[in-house]
A = this chain, B = another copy of it.
Amino acid sequence: MVKAADRAKNPARSSVWLEERAPRSGGGPAGLDRDRIVAASIRMLDEEGLAKLSMRKLATELGVTAMSLYWYVDTKDDIIEYAVDTVYGEIDLAAVDAAGDWRERIRVLALDYRRMLVNHPWMSPCAGQYLNIGPHAILVGGKIQEAIGDTGLPMTRQPSAMSAVFQFVYGYGTIESQFERRAAEAGMSQDDFYGESIRAFRDDPQFVEALEPMAEILDERASHGSVTAIWDRDFDYALEVLIAGIEVMVERSRTEDAPGT
Protein backbone atom coordinates (compact mmCIF):
# COMPACT_ATOMS: atom_id res chain seq x y z
CA MET A 1 0.00 0.00 0.00
CA VAL A 2 1.22 3.42 -0.90
CA LYS A 3 1.33 5.58 2.17
CA ALA A 4 0.68 9.29 2.20
CA ALA A 5 4.22 9.80 3.37
CA ASP A 6 5.57 7.92 0.37
CA ARG A 7 3.48 10.00 -1.95
CA ALA A 8 4.87 13.17 -0.51
CA LYS A 9 8.33 12.05 -1.51
CA ASN A 10 7.29 11.93 -5.15
CA PRO A 11 5.44 15.14 -5.72
CA ALA A 12 5.58 14.84 -9.49
CA ARG A 13 3.00 12.12 -9.07
CA SER A 14 1.07 13.88 -6.40
CA SER A 15 -2.43 13.08 -7.47
CA VAL A 16 -4.78 10.25 -6.65
CA TRP A 17 -5.22 9.77 -10.34
CA LEU A 18 -1.59 8.85 -10.78
CA GLU A 19 -1.70 6.06 -8.22
CA GLU A 20 -2.58 2.55 -9.09
CA ARG A 21 -4.67 1.48 -6.19
CA ALA A 22 -7.53 -0.94 -6.15
CA PRO A 23 -10.70 0.74 -4.93
CA ARG A 24 -11.57 -0.99 -1.70
CA SER A 25 -15.24 -1.63 -1.96
CA GLY A 26 -17.20 -1.97 1.14
CA GLY A 27 -18.22 -5.39 2.24
CA GLY A 28 -17.56 -4.25 5.75
CA PRO A 29 -20.06 -3.97 8.58
CA ALA A 30 -20.41 -0.21 8.22
CA GLY A 31 -21.43 -0.53 4.59
CA LEU A 32 -18.79 2.02 3.74
CA ASP A 33 -17.54 2.57 0.27
CA ARG A 34 -15.44 5.17 -1.53
CA ASP A 35 -18.41 6.46 -3.48
CA ARG A 36 -20.42 6.92 -0.31
CA ILE A 37 -17.54 8.77 1.31
CA VAL A 38 -17.10 11.07 -1.65
CA ALA A 39 -20.84 11.71 -1.95
CA ALA A 40 -21.05 12.59 1.74
CA SER A 41 -18.05 14.87 1.49
CA ILE A 42 -19.60 16.76 -1.43
CA ARG A 43 -22.78 17.19 0.55
CA MET A 44 -20.90 18.54 3.55
CA LEU A 45 -18.68 20.76 1.43
CA ASP A 46 -21.74 22.29 -0.20
CA GLU A 47 -23.41 22.86 3.14
CA GLU A 48 -20.56 23.88 5.39
CA GLY A 49 -17.73 24.93 3.14
CA LEU A 50 -14.19 23.78 2.63
CA ALA A 51 -12.82 25.09 5.92
CA LYS A 52 -15.37 23.22 7.99
CA LEU A 53 -14.82 19.77 6.51
CA SER A 54 -12.85 17.52 8.81
CA MET A 55 -12.23 13.82 8.75
CA ARG A 56 -13.90 13.41 12.12
CA LYS A 57 -17.05 15.24 11.08
CA LEU A 58 -17.23 13.42 7.79
CA ALA A 59 -16.84 10.13 9.60
CA THR A 60 -19.53 11.02 12.13
CA GLU A 61 -21.86 11.87 9.25
CA LEU A 62 -21.24 8.38 7.95
CA GLY A 63 -21.70 6.77 11.35
CA VAL A 64 -18.10 5.71 11.66
CA THR A 65 -14.78 6.79 13.17
CA ALA A 66 -12.34 9.03 11.39
CA MET A 67 -9.78 6.31 10.99
CA SER A 68 -12.20 4.08 9.15
CA LEU A 69 -12.07 6.42 6.20
CA TYR A 70 -8.38 5.74 5.82
CA TRP A 71 -9.12 2.25 4.69
CA TYR A 72 -10.63 3.64 1.50
CA VAL A 73 -8.44 6.67 1.04
CA ASP A 74 -4.86 7.66 1.77
CA THR A 75 -5.33 11.25 2.80
CA LYS A 76 -7.96 13.92 3.19
CA ASP A 77 -6.65 15.51 0.01
CA ASP A 78 -7.55 12.36 -1.88
CA ILE A 79 -11.16 12.69 -0.83
CA ILE A 80 -11.20 16.26 -2.07
CA GLU A 81 -9.63 15.27 -5.36
CA TYR A 82 -12.31 12.63 -5.83
CA ALA A 83 -14.98 15.16 -4.91
CA VAL A 84 -13.60 17.67 -7.39
CA ASP A 85 -13.65 15.21 -10.23
CA THR A 86 -17.12 13.99 -9.36
CA VAL A 87 -18.39 17.55 -9.57
CA TYR A 88 -16.72 17.98 -12.95
CA GLY A 89 -19.08 15.22 -13.96
CA GLU A 90 -21.98 17.63 -13.49
CA ILE A 91 -21.01 19.43 -16.66
CA ASP A 92 -23.43 18.24 -19.32
CA LEU A 93 -21.25 17.17 -22.22
CA ALA A 94 -24.18 15.80 -24.21
CA ALA A 95 -25.66 19.30 -24.29
CA VAL A 96 -22.38 20.55 -25.73
CA ASP A 97 -22.53 18.03 -28.54
CA ALA A 98 -26.11 19.04 -29.22
CA ALA A 99 -25.14 22.70 -29.59
CA GLY A 100 -24.39 24.31 -32.94
CA ASP A 101 -21.08 25.70 -34.11
CA TRP A 102 -18.00 26.28 -32.00
CA ARG A 103 -19.34 29.59 -30.71
CA GLU A 104 -22.42 27.97 -29.27
CA ARG A 105 -20.47 25.02 -27.92
CA ILE A 106 -18.09 27.34 -26.13
CA ARG A 107 -21.00 29.30 -24.69
CA VAL A 108 -22.67 26.16 -23.40
CA LEU A 109 -19.44 24.83 -21.92
CA ALA A 110 -18.56 28.13 -20.30
CA LEU A 111 -21.98 28.59 -18.81
CA ASP A 112 -22.03 25.10 -17.38
CA TYR A 113 -18.51 25.41 -16.03
CA ARG A 114 -19.44 28.67 -14.36
CA ARG A 115 -22.61 27.18 -12.92
CA MET A 116 -20.61 24.31 -11.50
CA LEU A 117 -18.22 26.72 -9.76
CA VAL A 118 -21.05 28.78 -8.34
CA ASN A 119 -23.03 25.78 -7.15
CA HIS A 120 -19.99 24.49 -5.29
CA PRO A 121 -18.05 27.44 -3.89
CA TRP A 122 -15.34 25.15 -2.54
CA MET A 123 -14.48 24.07 -6.08
CA SER A 124 -12.51 27.17 -7.04
CA PRO A 125 -9.81 26.91 -4.43
CA CYS A 126 -9.58 23.14 -4.95
CA ALA A 127 -9.53 23.23 -8.73
CA GLY A 128 -6.75 25.80 -8.49
CA GLN A 129 -4.72 23.61 -6.18
CA TYR A 130 -4.97 20.11 -7.62
CA LEU A 131 -4.08 18.73 -11.01
CA ASN A 132 -7.64 18.05 -12.15
CA ILE A 133 -6.78 15.02 -14.19
CA GLY A 134 -9.58 12.78 -13.05
CA PRO A 135 -11.70 11.04 -15.67
CA HIS A 136 -14.45 13.65 -15.69
CA ALA A 137 -12.08 16.58 -15.80
CA ILE A 138 -10.23 14.99 -18.70
CA LEU A 139 -13.47 14.56 -20.61
CA VAL A 140 -14.37 18.19 -20.05
CA GLY A 141 -10.92 19.24 -21.21
CA GLY A 142 -11.33 17.15 -24.32
CA LYS A 143 -14.64 18.80 -25.15
CA ILE A 144 -13.12 22.23 -24.70
CA GLN A 145 -10.24 21.32 -26.93
CA GLU A 146 -12.65 19.97 -29.52
CA ALA A 147 -14.64 23.18 -29.60
CA ILE A 148 -11.52 25.31 -29.86
CA GLY A 149 -10.23 23.05 -32.59
CA ASP A 150 -13.22 23.99 -34.72
CA THR A 151 -12.52 27.70 -34.57
CA GLY A 152 -10.00 27.43 -37.38
CA LEU A 153 -7.19 28.80 -35.23
CA PRO A 154 -3.74 27.41 -36.01
CA MET A 155 -2.92 24.48 -33.77
CA THR A 156 -0.12 26.30 -31.99
CA ARG A 157 -2.60 28.95 -30.87
CA GLN A 158 -5.38 26.71 -29.69
CA PRO A 159 -4.13 26.09 -26.14
CA SER A 160 -3.74 29.80 -25.70
CA ALA A 161 -7.28 30.49 -26.84
CA MET A 162 -8.50 27.74 -24.52
CA SER A 163 -6.76 29.57 -21.70
CA ALA A 164 -8.26 32.89 -22.66
CA VAL A 165 -11.78 31.53 -22.44
CA PHE A 166 -11.62 29.06 -19.61
CA GLN A 167 -9.19 30.81 -17.33
CA PHE A 168 -11.58 33.71 -17.61
CA VAL A 169 -14.49 31.47 -16.67
CA TYR A 170 -12.51 30.11 -13.75
CA GLY A 171 -11.65 33.58 -12.49
CA TYR A 172 -15.14 34.86 -12.97
CA GLY A 173 -16.72 31.85 -11.30
CA THR A 174 -14.29 32.25 -8.43
CA ILE A 175 -15.25 35.78 -7.49
CA GLU A 176 -18.89 35.15 -8.17
CA SER A 177 -19.01 32.08 -5.95
CA GLN A 178 -16.98 33.73 -3.20
CA PHE A 179 -19.36 36.66 -3.23
CA GLU A 180 -22.31 34.33 -2.95
CA ARG A 181 -20.62 32.40 -0.17
CA ARG A 182 -19.97 35.56 1.80
CA ALA A 183 -23.55 36.68 1.38
CA ALA A 184 -24.78 33.32 2.57
CA GLU A 185 -22.45 33.39 5.58
CA ALA A 186 -23.81 36.80 6.44
CA GLY A 187 -27.29 35.34 6.19
CA MET A 188 -28.31 37.85 3.55
CA SER A 189 -29.55 37.75 0.00
CA GLN A 190 -26.96 38.71 -2.57
CA ASP A 191 -28.81 41.98 -3.16
CA ASP A 192 -28.84 42.92 0.50
CA PHE A 193 -25.23 41.92 0.91
CA TYR A 194 -24.24 44.00 -2.10
CA GLY A 195 -26.12 47.00 -0.77
CA GLU A 196 -24.53 46.58 2.65
CA SER A 197 -21.04 46.34 1.20
CA ILE A 198 -21.45 49.42 -0.95
CA ARG A 199 -22.88 51.35 1.96
CA ALA A 200 -20.04 50.29 4.24
CA PHE A 201 -17.71 51.46 1.54
CA ARG A 202 -19.38 54.80 1.05
CA ASP A 203 -19.48 55.51 4.76
CA ASP A 204 -15.81 54.84 5.17
CA PRO A 205 -13.91 58.08 4.66
CA GLN A 206 -10.77 56.33 3.49
CA PHE A 207 -12.61 55.01 0.43
CA VAL A 208 -14.49 58.12 -0.63
CA GLU A 209 -11.79 59.29 -2.95
CA ALA A 210 -11.17 55.89 -4.50
CA LEU A 211 -14.87 55.37 -5.13
CA GLU A 212 -15.51 58.69 -6.74
CA PRO A 213 -14.54 57.75 -10.31
CA MET A 214 -16.57 54.54 -10.03
CA ALA A 215 -19.67 56.24 -8.70
CA GLU A 216 -21.36 56.63 -12.05
CA ILE A 217 -20.90 52.99 -12.93
CA LEU A 218 -22.02 51.82 -9.50
CA ASP A 219 -25.20 53.84 -9.73
CA GLU A 220 -26.02 52.50 -13.15
CA ARG A 221 -25.55 48.99 -11.92
CA ALA A 222 -27.52 49.48 -8.74
CA SER A 223 -30.49 50.60 -10.82
CA HIS A 224 -30.22 47.75 -13.21
CA GLY A 225 -31.88 44.94 -11.34
CA SER A 226 -30.68 42.18 -9.07
CA VAL A 227 -27.07 41.30 -8.47
CA THR A 228 -27.52 37.92 -10.06
CA ALA A 229 -28.90 39.55 -13.20
CA ILE A 230 -25.77 41.70 -13.37
CA TRP A 231 -23.55 38.66 -12.91
CA ASP A 232 -25.33 37.04 -15.84
CA ARG A 233 -25.23 40.10 -18.05
CA ASP A 234 -21.53 40.73 -17.45
CA PHE A 235 -20.62 37.12 -18.02
CA ASP A 236 -22.51 36.89 -21.29
CA TYR A 237 -20.97 40.05 -22.61
CA ALA A 238 -17.46 39.02 -21.62
CA LEU A 239 -17.97 35.76 -23.46
CA GLU A 240 -18.97 37.69 -26.55
CA VAL A 241 -15.79 39.72 -26.22
CA LEU A 242 -13.78 36.52 -26.18
CA ILE A 243 -15.61 34.94 -29.09
CA ALA A 244 -15.26 38.11 -31.13
CA GLY A 245 -11.56 38.16 -30.31
CA ILE A 246 -11.11 34.59 -31.48
CA GLU A 247 -12.92 35.38 -34.72
CA VAL A 248 -10.55 38.25 -35.37
CA MET A 249 -7.50 36.13 -34.69
CA VAL A 250 -8.79 33.41 -36.99
CA GLU A 251 -9.15 35.99 -39.71
CA ARG A 252 -5.66 37.36 -39.06
CA SER A 253 -4.06 33.94 -39.20
CA ARG A 254 -5.77 33.34 -42.56
CA THR A 255 -4.45 36.51 -44.14
CA GLU A 256 -1.00 35.89 -42.68
CA ASP A 257 -0.92 32.43 -44.19
CA ALA A 258 -1.67 33.80 -47.62
CA PRO A 259 -0.40 37.36 -47.61
CA GLY A 260 -0.20 37.61 -51.38
CA THR A 261 -3.80 36.84 -52.14
A: residues with CB less than 8 A from B are: 10-14, 18, 124-125, 128-129, 133, 135, 138-139, 142, 145-146, 155-161, 163-164, 166-172, 174-175, 178, 182, 185-186, 188, 193, 196-197, 200-201, 204, 206-207, 210, 213-214, 216-217, 220-221, 224, 233-235, 237-238, 240-249, 252
CB distance from A71 to the nearest CB of B (A): 23
Q: In the complex, which residues of chain B have a beta carbon less than 8 angstroms from the beta carbon of A246?
A: 241, 245
A159 touches B234 (CB 8 A): yes
Most buried by B among A168, A174, A213: A168
Q: Is the CB of A217 within 8 A of B164?
A: no
Q: Is there contact, CB below 8 Å, between B175 and A145? A: no
* Binding site secondary structure of chain A: helix
Q: Which of B129, B197, B224 contacts A12 (CB 8 A)?
A: B197
Contact of A178 among B128, B186, B214, B241 (CB under 8 A): B128
The residue among A158, A170, A221, A246 with the most chain B CB atoms within 10 A of its own CB is A170
Tell whether, in the assembled complex, residue A157 and residue B12 are in contact, meaning their CB atoms are under 8 Å apart. Answer: no
Q: Which residues of B contact A124 (CB under 8 A)?
A: 128
Which residues on B sit within 8 Å (CB–CB) of A247? 248
- Stoichiometry, as copies per complex, reads 2
**A174–B169 alpha-carbon span in the complex (Å):** 13
Shortest Cβ distance from A192 into B: residue: B12
CB–CB B244/A248 < 8 A: yes
For the complex formed, measure the closest distance between the CB of A250 and the CB atoms of chain B, giving whole angstroms. Answer: 10
Q: Is the CB–CB distance between B220 and A156 below 8 Å?
A: yes
Give the chain B neighbours of A234 by CB distance below 8 A. Answer: 159-160, 163
Q: In chain B, what residue has the closest Cβ to A196?
A: B12
Q: Across chains A and B, which 6 residue pairs bring their CB atoms closest together, nearest first?
A: A245-B245, A167-B171, A164-B238, A244-B248, A160-B234, A241-B245
Contact in complex: B241, A161 (CB < 8 Å)? yes
The CA-CA distance from A159 to B214 in the complex, in Å, is 10
From B12, B164, B178, B240, give the contact of A249 (CB < 8 A): B240
Task: Give chain B nearest CB distance to A90 CB in angstroms.
Answer: 19
How far apart are A121's CB and chain B's nearest CB, in angstroms? 10
Do B167 and A175 touch across chains, with their CB atoms under 8 A apart?
A: yes
